[in-house]
Amino acid sequence: MRHHHRRIATAATALIAPLALLAAPAAAADLRPGSLPRGADLALPYVEGTTIVDGTRVVVVPVKKPVLVAEVRGGYLVRDRRFADVVLVDHDGAKSRLPGADEDTITSPDGRLYASAGLAGDGVTVVTVRRVKDGERLGTRTFRSWVDTNIGRFAHPIDLDGHRLLIGGDGGRVVVWDWKRDTLRDVIDDKWHLQVGSLADGVAAGWTAPGERCTFTARLATPHRRLWRSCDEQVVALSPDGRRMVTTDRRVFLGFGRVRFLVMRTVTGRELGRWTAERFTDIRWETGSAISFRVDGRTSTAMVRCTPKRCQAASDPTPLPE
């Protein structure tokens, strides 16, 4: 996973029929369900009502208000919008519990592993890597704020790639934990509060400090050499190849606040596209150059995909749920 609200940044292999032209990047295009030409169905799974639509597969989810957290091997991690706990729903719709899984759980690119963090006391975070198919614990690391300098009161798993886990601390320290060997490597020891990151692509974005609320991107190998900095935007998701990103207003508290505009940029900050809507949710990369998201209007909602120049509907509009 590439994002803190993570989640399903799997690249699609097939791309997409001709799209409808948008305005130049400097002018934001206002997107409304039903106003865009219909394109191919979305190549990623998404929630429609109480079902998950995954290509030709439609899975009825035994959850009242489902939110798709991640696609995994053999099924999906799903939570009820009203609660933080996450369950595994297989392709037949059967539900099972995964130990430690919650709304901030991240998964490996192949969908076999998941990582989560839990508070075990004041300033004590237990980070665990487990296997999806049976929840078996493969590695555990305990971080203590008074021992692990600048980790802070909580350590957040950001990206899981093979036996490496990228972790960002509330105190501004960023580390890579090799969970097989139980070793830590510092990326930066302070002042990078991560929003998103990719171990495979070696790039991340985060706040400079909690009070300053400015974001910068950098290579993990050279975190003090900033690629881009903004005090107006925050990063929502990195593209699967780590070359592009989606940003929004820094003042929005993701997961709770209403996202009304999105910007596609290179990780060095060059603007590629800009869009507005009543509300954007489920913001993900469908390919390295196309993003997908749910667009809510005043009465209807639909999945939409956009490239830097064009947008199209990727599902039929449906009424907004009550």
| Residue 27 in this model has a pLDDT that exceeds 80 | no
Distance in angstroms (rounded) separating the CA atoms of residues 110 and 274: 31
| Residue 9 in this model has a pLDDT that exceeds 90 | no
What is the per-residue pLDDT across 59-72, written as a single tens digit (0 to 9) for each? 999 999 999 999 99
Distance in angstroms (rounded) separating the CA atoms of residues 301 and 171: 39
Q: In terms of DSSP bridges, do strands 271-285 and 29-30 run parallel, antiparallel, or are they unpaired?
A: parallel
The overall average pLDDT reported for the chain is 91
With cut-offs at 50, 70 and 90, classify the pLDDT of residue 18: very low
Q: What are phi and psi of 182, to 5 degrees?
A: 55, 50
- List the domain boundaries for the chain: 20-319
With cut-offs at 50, 70 and 90, classify the pLDDT of residue 15: very low
Q: What are phi and psi of 93, to 5 degrees?
A: 90, 5
Q: Where are the alpha helices (DSSP H) in the chain?
A: none
- The sign of the torsion formed by the CA atoms of 53, 288, 243, 161 equals positive
| Residue 163 in this model has a pLDDT that exceeds 70 | yes
Radius of gyration, alpha carbons of the chain: 19
| Residue 156 in this model has a pLDDT that exceeds 60 | yes
In a 13 Å sphere around the CA of 319, the CA atoms on its Cβ side amount to 2
Q: CA separation (Å) from 23 to 27, 201, 277?
A: 6, 30, 15
Query: Average pLDDT, stretch 43-56?
Result: 96
What is the per-residue pLDDT across 217-259, written as a single tens digit (0 to 9) for each? 999 999 999 999 999 999 999 999 999 999 999 999 887 789 9
The residues near 43 (Cβ < 8 Å, ≥ 6 apart) are: 12, 13, 14, 16, 55, 286, 287
Using alpha carbons, select from 222, 245, 223 the residue that is nearest to residue 234. Answer: 245
| Residue 51 in this model has a pLDDT that exceeds 50 | yes
With cut-offs at 50, 70 and 90, classify the pLDDT of residue 17: very low
Q: In terms of DSSP bridges, do strands 233-238 and 85-90 run parallel, antiparallel, or are they unpaired?
A: unpaired
Q: What are phi and psi of 249, to 5 degrees?
A: -55, 130
Note the pLDDT of residue 255: 76
- The two tokens of residue 58 are 């439609």
Distance in angstroms (rounded) separating the CA atoms of residues 100 and 149: 25
The partner residues of 90 in beta bridges, in order of sequence, read 75
What is the per-residue pLDDT across 304-314, written as a single tens digit (0 to 9) for each? 999 999 999 99
CATH node for 20-319: 2.130.10.10
* CA angle, residues 133, 242, 71, in degrees to nearest 5: 25
Note the pLDDT of residue 143: 98
Note the pLDDT of residue 3: 46
The partner residues of 131 in beta bridges, in order of sequence, read 113
CB count in 10 Å sphere of residue 185: 11
